[in-house]
Structure 1
Amino acid sequence: MGVTTSSTDPNTVLFAARTKEEQLFGWLIEAGMHGMRIDQLIAQFCEKLTDLGVQLTRGNIALSTIHPQVSAFMYTWRKEGGIVANTNVLHSEEPGEGWFASPFFFMLNNRVSFMQRSLENSEELDFPVLVEFRDQGMTDWFSQIFDFGWGFQDDFRDHSSGLITSWASSAPGGFSKEELNLLRRAIPLFALTVKGIASFKAAETVLETYIGKETSRKVLSGEIMRGKASSISAILIFADLRGFTRLSDVTGRSDVVATLDQYLERMVAPIEEAGGEILKFMGDGILATFALDNEDEKEVCKKALVSSLQMISGVKQLNSERLAQGRRTMELDIAVHVGEVMYGNVGSKTRLDFTVVGPAVNEVSRIETLCDQLDTDLLMSGAFVETSGHLCEHLESVGLHHLRGVQEPKELFKIRDCDVFSKKQDLY
């Protein structure tokens, strides 16, 4: 049957090709199996087509994506320059007039999956971009669209949820019949390869967006069994916004979400920039961790404390901006703790959550509730202070306090002088 065993070498084909065309098809299969980068895929695909005698001048793809910021990735290849354009289209970007006058917009809105135009025939140039291609010396152009069946729609691309491709030649008379026959066979397989790669990338992006980079890595590596957990030592940060209920009662629904996003952005950025991970968004609060395993504990403590202060500073700056606009504000309270926690899967047979559990998690949330009572926006546990080393010289005790559900009272601390502490440049 011509079937061979594939090795770990990505250049090893999955089947014995009998022709150069079959070698191209085998290479596309291998590229999809090994998750080649999309920009490398289109560049090498175009180069291999030219090696097979296809007089290809330009290749372009626009790939829909599931991403919190980017709606599509676009790549353009040219024979004389390789990949000459790599563009990310953001959700926030409004399409320009060029999009509405493009053949792609027409094809998507009219459910046309294939379109070809001879650029040597001026009467057929019904789109401005095709006139530009003709003026650049191109003679033939066609586009093919592939619906990946991902089941979502986007205002920018209207009905597209897959791959838009376009291909152009500068040869006299355009693509030959033989070239078109090869392209019409190869391009759908190319699209399938793109879908295979993009599907995994989409899953990776979605997981990172909702559960964090480190946790998503564990899930994608197969750690999805219920009850599977490991014990880790970590610094825990519990941050909660004061006044959210009151604000939401007097604010329109759409503005509540936008306002919350503004505050959470100020809270999340310092944590992630310092190497921490956001484990949970809990309405108007977050739970974050800094792992201590195989790390300099004192250095990690410094990162956690500095990022906490940056969160508070960011929220104060946002409040100043909102007050100047006559808008309502919220204050931020933060608790920092350290302890052993269980990190892994909990839940039902069909619905799991990758999270941290244990007494330390309960304690840090209880500590945060005392911020208002103790007239401070940042409290630290004695366990954190003990771990932090030289940072303790900047801290002062606020006494022993009973935490709800915790048998023994806990000594809590606050920063003695936040301004002095923040000006210590060696802490950043």
Structure 2
Amino acid sequence: MTQTDDPLQHLPASRLDGALRLISYMLGGARDATDADEVLTRMSELIRAGGVPLDRATSIVPLLHAEAVASARFWERGKGARSYLFPFNEESGKGYAHSPAADVHKSGAWVILWLPDTPDERYGIVPELKADSYTHYIMAPVFMRSGMAGTFSFATRAPEGFSQDDIAFLRAVFPALSACQEILATARAMQEVMRIYVGHEPQKRILSGDVHRGEVMHIRSAILFADMRRFTELTAGMSAEQATGLLNAYYDCIVPPIEGAGGEVLKFIGDGVLAVFRAGEDGAEACLRALKASRGGLARVAARTEQPQFDIGTALHFGEVAFGNVGSGMRLDYTVIGRDVNLAARVAGLCGARNEPLLVSSEFRQKAGLEGRSLGEQSLKGLQSREEVFAVSLAEGP
């Protein structure tokens, strides 16, 4: 068979209708599906309906994800589909190096194993497949235009394994399987990268077409601004890697409580963290969630035993956050702007000067129903009117 041959021409007539039904699904309904497990299940069922004794199938795609390197979906006959994330760690790298995926990505050729004759040490997965009574295993690479590479695998428990007609069927439909995987993986990667770098709400806005300079979206919310005290001093003698490690340790204290309280981190600004908690009708509930997140972050910092130690200041305000596209020509930044954002940042700056870990604006104090200790009206840089600022207890409760 040459590269210009149509693989469908080499299928027996009895297999052609099944192959066409599967191709039609993968290039049609599957592309619009929102549940990838459902796609793998339907694909596997259609492969079986085409006469292939398929008992197990997997689809593995790389991820552009901060904490995982790949997503694997497994289908087993009689059990349905399940998914698994390969974490970004040394163990996942070692597992990949000793897998058929590494070989198919390197060679571009399918790996086809008759398992009764395959040594257990050939690949890490071989003993598992044998223990589950599989006889024949196939893994095939998917190379995407983006440079990412995925895989499909197929396995059977049939005593005679896959026939030559079965393998011909899989080769005939594989271009459609690959195209569908690439479409879904690319869409997922785009969403994940956007979410990682700009946050959930900007991601949705940008992907829906909000990419023109001057467009602004307003969010009424509780605003949290935290920063690390003496960051420049702490990192003066550090390498770039050490400074990055310190920043990540700081973010690990601040971000989980924000996300746990339903907040959204909008920006990392050097050693500053800007987050919002969307408001309902009166804003009180959002303010209480922001207060909980602030106290949680401060508690994590206080509990750290690693060196160097650091302190943070956190400010809370209630108002309106504006997202806007700013820049020039083809280079734009989807950034956060507005008086209320500036106010929160300026109040956070007072934390160090007043040696207070948690300060709130008068608007936030009123919305949240807090007592607080007044520091008096403050003149905040860049703001025309003075703002009364309050120190708040770190203990739970209003």
TM-score interval, smaller chain: 0.7 to 0.9
Secondary structure (helix, strand or coil) at the match of 2:91 reads coil
Check the 8 A contact 2:326/2:333 in 1, yes or no.
yes
Q: 1:333 to 1:123 in 2, by over 3 A?
A: closer
**CA deviation after TM superposition for structure 1 residue 90, in Å:** 0.5
Equivalent residue number for residue 184 of structure 1: 171
Check the 8 A contact 1:61/1:75 in 2, yes or no.
yes
Equivalent residue number for residue 89 of structure 2: 92
What is the correspondence of 1:196-207 to structure 2 with a 5 Å cutoff? 196-207=183-194
Scaled by the length of structure 2, the TM-score of the pair is 0.87
Q: Which runs of 5+ in 2 are unaligned?
A: 1-15
Equivalent residue number for residue 379 of structure 2: 402
What is the correspondence of 1:238-387 to structure 2 with a 5 Å cutoff? 238-292=225-279, 294-318=280-304, 321-322=305-306, 327-387=307-367
Check the 8 A contact 1:119/1:125 in 2, yes or no.
no
Check the 8 A contact 1:270/1:307 in 2, yes or no.
yes
Check the 8 A contact 1:38/1:194 in 2, yes or no.
no
**CA deviation after TM superposition for structure 1 residue 227, in Å:** 1.1
Distance 2:269 2:336 in 1: 14
Distance 2:116 2:390 in 1: 78
Moved more, 227-236 or 275-284: 227-236
Secondary structure (helix, strand or coil) at the match of 1:233 reads strand
Deviation readout 1:234-260 (Å, 9 max, x if unpaired): 322221101211121122322221121
Deviation readout 1:20-67 (Å, 9 max, x if unpaired): 422211111123431342222222111111112111122223221111
Check the 8 A contact 2:120/2:127 in 1, yes or no.
no
Equivalent residue number for residue 156 of structure 1: none
Check the 8 A contact 2:18/2:49 in 1, yes or no.
no
Distance 1:101 1:346 in 2: 47
Equivalent residue number for residue 4 of structure 2: none
Paired residue total: 383
Q: 1:111 to 1:312 in 2, by over 3 A?
A: same
Amino acid aligned to 2:201: E
Q: 1:49 to 1:351 in 2, by over 3 A?
A: same
Amino acid aligned to 1:371: C
Distance 1:78 1:272 in 2: 35
Q: 1:35 to 1:220 in 2, by over 3 A?
A: farther
Q: 1:280 to 1:36 in 2, by over 3 A?
A: closer
Q: 1:139 to 1:268 in 2, by over 3 A?
A: closer
Q: 1:48 to 1:314 in 2, by over 3 A?
A: same
**CA deviation after TM superposition for structure 1 residue 122, in Å:** 6.1
Amino acid aligned to 2:83: N
Distance 1:285 1:366 in 2: 12
Amino acid aligned to 1:115: V
Q: 1:135 to 1:279 in 2, by over 3 A?
A: closer
Q: 1:177 to 1:358 in 2, by over 3 A?
A: same
**CA deviation after TM superposition for structure 1 residue 345, in Å:** 2.2
Q: 1:133 to 1:380 in 2, by over 3 A?
A: closer
Check the 8 A contact 2:287/2:318 in 1, yes or no.
no
Check the 8 A contact 2:21/2:46 in 1, yes or no.
no
Distance 2:124 2:276 in 1: 53
Instruction: Confirm whether residue 213 of structure 1 aligns to residue 200 of structure 2.
Output: yes
Moved more, 44-53 or 371-380: 371-380
**CA deviation after TM superposition for structure 1 residue 120, in Å:** 5.3
**CA deviation after TM superposition for structure 1 residue 130, in Å:** 4.2
Equivalent residue number for residue 7 of structure 2: none
Check the 8 A contact 2:19/2:172 in 1, yes or no.
no
**Structure 2 residue aligned with 1:56, among 54, 57, 62?**
54
**CA deviation after TM superposition for structure 1 residue 129, in Å:** 4.4
**CA deviation after TM superposition for structure 1 residue 69, in Å:** 0.7
Secondary structure (helix, strand or coil) at the match of 1:314 reads helix
Distance 1:408 1:150 in 2: 51
**CA deviation after TM superposition for structure 1 residue 386, in Å:** 3.0
**CA deviation after TM superposition for structure 1 residue 145, in Å:** 0.9
Equivalent residue number for residue 3 of structure 1: none
